[in-house]
Amino acid sequence: MSPENIFIAHPKNAEQVEALKSVMKSFKIKFEMKKSDETLLHLDEITKSLSQVRKIKEGKLKKQSAREFLDEI
């Protein structure tokens, strides 16, 4: 048996993801899928934002106007 080779693909859309999965399954090639670091970063930012919204609804965090928000940036 030859040494294991590793291929890294960067599909650009869901159609490409499904095509890659289909090819791998048809050739009975073991594979795993992981979210990219960029995706994980976005998920972290969304989670933090949702936490802030919950705190605002609970009255634990002061609401601010869009202008105040933009001024902070």
Q: What is the pLDDT of residues 3-51, one digit of tens each?
A: 678 888 889 999 999 999 999 999 999 998 887 777 777 788 888 889 9
> Nearest CA to 7 among 28, 27, 32?
32
For residues 43-62, average pLDDT: 88
The residue count for the chain: 73
pLDDT at 23: 96
| Cα distance between residue 3 and residue 66, in whole Å | 57
| Cα distance between residue 34 and residue 39, in whole Å | 10
> Nearest CA to 52 among 36, 67, 69?
69
pLDDT at 69 over 70: yes
Global pTM exceeds 0.75: no
pLDDT at 26: 97
